[in-house]
């Protein structure tokens, strides 16, 4: 059994209406290409590169306009969608960096709230975002089980391993990987490492420039990049096969050979 998956790449701004128009156009294009799942970047709803800006006025609830529009587009075009948004939290001045997943019927599969915040390389995401407790989001589709994490989580191998322990064999990573010295190399190296060590697909959907590196890609369980969007706005797609995961895990049984497990609670 195979499933056709796309990573959708664009550079979001503070213009929520323009961002939503691009999100809808990319969903429509992916569906028109006959794909089953499209993954959009982190902060696809709203992105403000000014680390000192108050983003709370732009935040929305999970029943707000952006989430509703994504679910409506998924239903209208008959395609599963994963997309990042800024979620308003009750009684909290900070927001959540949230990823929502919708099935092809427009039903909310679940949400993932970012655990590891980007307090690195001169940036302090925690000034505006509330870190979440880890709750794995996984969902079955096309014979595979997809797990979700966000951007900076990629630098922490425990997150990917916890998702694999929860049954995932394909990991979805919406991101806004900031530009900087060696950053693009880190993005590719870490993503390939997570694929290799977990013998799992990695579906990496990043924002494009000028603030982010782009280079959205799909990586197979052996660590080979099988599709890439380069640096420009657009889609990259590939067929994913559950049989390919089984084949790689038989050849490289590192998961079954390991001598320890990861606890389900992170600190």
Q: Show which residues are catalytic.
A: 42, 114, 151
Report the distance separating Cα 175 and Cα 193, nearest Å: 17
Please give the full DSSP string across 203-223, using - where no structure is assigned. Answer: EEEE--TTTB----EEE-TTS
β-pairing, 217-219 vs 201-206, is antiparallel
* Contact indicator for 219, 199 with CB cutoff of 8 Å: no
Going along the chain, which residue ranges are E strands? 2-9, 37-39, 80-87, 96-102, 108-113, 138-141, 144-148, 170-175, 201-206, 217-219, 225-228, 234-241
Diameter of the chain measured on Cα atoms: 51
Structure tokens at 15: 């213009």
């Amino acid at each position: 059994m195979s499933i056709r998956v796309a990573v959708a790449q664009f550079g979001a701004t503070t213009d929520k209406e323009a961002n939503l128009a691009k999100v809808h156009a990319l969903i429509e294009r992916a569906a028109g290409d006959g794909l089953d799942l499209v993954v959009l970047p982190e902060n696809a709803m709203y992105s403000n590169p000014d680390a000192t800006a108050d983003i709370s006025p732009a935040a929305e609830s999970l029943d707000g306009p952006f989430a509703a529009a994504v679910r409506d587009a998924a239903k209208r075009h008959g395609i599963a969608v994963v997309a990042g948004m800024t979620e308003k939290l009750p009684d909290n001045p900070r927001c959540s960096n949230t990823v929502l997943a919708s099935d092809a019927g427009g039903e909310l599969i679940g949400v993932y709230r970012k655990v590891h915040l980007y307090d690195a390389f001169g940036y302090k995401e925690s000034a505006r975002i509330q870190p979440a407790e880890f709750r794995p989001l996984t969902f079955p589709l096309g014979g595979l089980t997809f797990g979700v994490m966000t951007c900076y989580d990629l630098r922490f191998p425990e997150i990917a391993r916890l998702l694999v322990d929860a049954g995932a064999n394909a990991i979805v990573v919406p991101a806004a990987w900031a530009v900087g010295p060696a950053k693009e190399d880190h993005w590719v190296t870490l993503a390939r490492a997570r694929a290799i060590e977990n013998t799992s697909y990695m579906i990496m959907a990043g924002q494009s420039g000028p603030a982010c590196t782009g280079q959205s890609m799909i990586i197979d369980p052996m660590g080979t990049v099988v599709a890439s969007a380069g640096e420009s706005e657009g889609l990259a797609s590939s067929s994913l096969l559950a049989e390919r995961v089984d084949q790689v895990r038989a050849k490289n049984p590192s998961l079954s050979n390991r001598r320890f497990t990861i606890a389900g609670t992170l600190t």
